[in-house]
Amino acid sequence: MAWRFTWLRSWDEIWDPVHLTRWRRAIVGGPDVHATPFMHPDVIAAWLSATGGEGAYAPFFLHARHDAGQQVLWLLVRRRAGWSTFLQRALIPAGGDLFDYHDPVVTPVRTPGEVLVPGFWLAFAAELRRHEGVWFDTCALSRIRPECRSGSLDFPVPAGIAPFVRLDRYTDFESYMASRRKSIREQRRKWERVAAEQGLSFRQHGAGDTEAVLNWLPKFEAARAARYPGSGLPEGYLRALASAGLDAGLVAASTLVLAERPISWDFSFLMNGVFYNYLGTFDEEFRRLSPGQLHTCRIIEWLFGEQARVFDSLLGLEGYKNDWTDGEAMAQRSGAIRSRAVATRVRRLAWRGLRRIEQWGPGAAADQRTRYAGAPVGT
């Protein structure tokens, strides 16, 4: 029994209605699919539109099939623009640093702890070797979760820790809160007091609320930029996500409102019973109220009503996450497949040469960049 690989190399093929329907059905297939929203076509399209569009990336969409019936769908891309692209051809998972996970879509899963049929990564590496030096010089396998790393291909680089809590271990929100430490349990009493005295409310947005979310997104982005300097998002990224994902039930956005003034915002995903706590922030003017903690409490209560299975805090070991989890976390790792082709070695030598030229003077480096600017980037 073996793996068979098909590659879609144009955006027209990828967005073709037949392929798009197959992709959507696979990724929202329920508990028998290993997938995250970061490989959802709507999320991919939003990222693409906000980072240069189809002209900025050459697509490499993998559709792998195993004789046992398992399928793998995965989108890799290669940047098209820039002189360095010619000298360093890097395949990367779509989304780059904007996406916390880069796992492929796998359906059906083999087992809950080891989703891939054995041998996938070795077969994938062998398939890529057929195109080394032409398609890529380096293929990044970054931010892969543990259950998707089965096989003997090496993932040597730690890529972050993602704390999570299994909500389905608790009968209801009351039992979940009873297991939290005292300061978290007190958030409920604090909520009731502030709600009664100052008019605090929780607003969860869903289908039909796109316009409302688009209206508060500028305030959310401004508050986030003020709180996390240098962590700006591509312009239009969240607008595209909200426009495509709210009515579809993929995007889960909410606010805390104090006397009709939003003081905390959350922009996340809900897919296949898993809540992915993506982006959130609050108005620093109201820090004394601990709006982030209050907001998380209301979101988790809402998730119990939605019968969500998991609250995933995504990448990062921020201390506040421990208050809401039971100590479980996913350790992600990264690796790479490096081309051994002669063409790759030649380009690496040229790259090193240009790096040396840059050390000699900006004028010489500019002359060399101009020479390579019009060179073809291959197929």
Q: What is the chain's pLDDT, residue by residue, as a tens digit (379 residues)?
A: 799 999 999 999 999 999 999 999 999 988 889 999 999 999 999 999 999 999 999 999 999 999 999 999 999 999 986 655 566 789 999 999 999 999 999 999 988 888 999 899 999 999 999 999 999 999 999 999 999 987 778 899 999 999 999 999 999 999 999 999 998 998 888 888 988 888 999 999 989 999 999 999 999 999 999 888 887 899 999 999 999 999 999 999 999 999 989 999 999 999 999 999 999 999 999 999 899 999 999 999 999 999 999 999 999 988 889 899 999 999 999 999 999 988 888 877 776 776 676 666 555 444 444 333 333 333 3
pLDDT at 379: 39
pLDDT at 145: 94
The b/e string for 267-290 (b: 16+ C-beta within 10 A; e otherwise) is bbbbbbebbbbbbbbbbeebeebb
pTM for the model? 0.90
